[in-house]
Amino acid sequence: MKPDVSVYAKSDKPKLLVIELWGLGDLAIATAFLKGACEKYDVTLIAKPHAVEIQPYFWPAVKVIPFTAPWTRFAQKYDLFKWNWGSFFELVKTVRKEGFDLALSARWDPRDHLLMSFCRVKERLGFPRASSGIFLTKALSHPSRELHRYEYWRALGEEIGVELPARSKAIEPTNPIRSILFHSGAAQPVRIWPLNRALGIVNRLRAVGFIVQVACDPNQQAWWRQQNEEAVTPVNIDQLMALLDAADLFIGNDSGPGHVAAAAGVPTFTIFGPQLPELFLPVHSMAGYVEGKPCRYKPCSDNCRYPTPHCIDGLSEGEVWGFLQQYLRRHELADATP
């Protein structure tokens, strides 16, 4: 059930501006920080429009300013003539009027730091890169670029008095596993495991007694229908959350829906390709995974240098099933036998 949206009221708390301009999964990883920060701060988030959709479910006290930064496009991100400069300067004008006490970003991204400076926020915290410390009032030491993204939010929390739990304790399981949501899609093609192998896993899970609902991207639905599979295509957060309400486990590719599932308290099992589990595993105490095949370019930010992404295409159905079996047995969720 969709929760009620909080009514914003004037607050005596310090005004905190948080910047997270990238994908749905990145935003879901920030959930624990945003919820914790609301206890001490009046929090406003600048993020892509999907933040407006998930805000009522995860951090209803956060005010969202939707903004699609032109530099977050997958291609032609630096074609300045195609930027919507009007929306950029309107954002800056809006933020300046708010008079924020503090702004921060968990990314070592000079563009975030420059945006904070343009917005004239009094105190600006972040992890500098390429001399971007000149735009910050306090440049923080990087935890380590080999650590999970959640650790950057933890470091920011420690700096501003917001304590976050260890990632392994962030979200604990609540239900025994009976019903599984298998999502076969992803925002980028190089993160999508071949559909015929996904179908094989779905059939194996059903053979050992699980109830499996298949979800997919719109361009995958015709293929699933040809396999006599009634796959659903959630096209917004409300529809995805309705599916997650009925699921005890989420299985899917390294994509936004998996991170949303974890934030909603649903255990996850992720099929990785070009990214690294130690950096982007969903934040849940029961997050399992199978890692993509080795590649000298990993993590490659989804720009594969080969004709096909062998990191994920090289994972056979048998390999993924073997790792999934181990995951299920480790958590005593089922006697999953082939």
Mark whether 72 and 158 lie in a shared domain. Answer: yes
Average pLDDT over residues 162-172: 81
Mean pLDDT of 206-221: 97
186 and 52, same domain (yes or no): no
The answer to whether the Cα torsion of 60, 61, 66, 72 is positive or negative is: negative
Tell whether 150 and 210 lie within a shared domain.
Answer: no
Query: How many domains does one find in the chain?
Result: 2
Residues 272 and 201 in one domain: yes
pLDDT of residue 142: 85
Residue span of the structural domain in which 79 resides: 15-164
Same domain, yes or no: 138 and 254? no
Q: Look at residues 164, 189, 205 and tell me which one is the last residue of a structural domain.
A: 164
Alpha carbon distance 86, 184 (integer Å): 37
CATH of the domain at 318: 3.40.50.2000
* Residue 22 is assigned to a structural domain of this protein: yes
Dihedral sign for Cα atoms in the order 95, 75, 149, 1: positive
Residue 82 domain-assigned (yes or no): yes
Q: How many residues does the chain have?
A: 338
Where does a domain end: 116, 136, 164? 164
The answer to whether residue 242 sits within a structural domain is yes
pLDDT interval class at 309 (50, 70, 90)? very high
What would the pLDDT profile of 5-32 be if each residue is shown by its tens digit? 343 445 689 999 999 998 899 999 999 9
Q: Are residues 32 and 67 in the same domain?
A: yes
Tokens (6 digits) for 283: 């934040």
Looking at 164, 197, 227, which one is the last position of a domain?
A: 164
Q: How many Å apart are CA 303 and CA 255, to the nearest integer?
A: 16
CA angle 118/123/128 to nearest 5° reads 75
How far apart (Å, rounded) are the C-alpha atoms in residues 6 and 188?
34
Query: Angle of helix 50-58 relative to helix 237-245, nearest 10 degrees?
Result: 40
- Nearest Cα to Cα of residue 110 among 121, 122, 124: 124
144 and 49 both lie in a single domain: yes
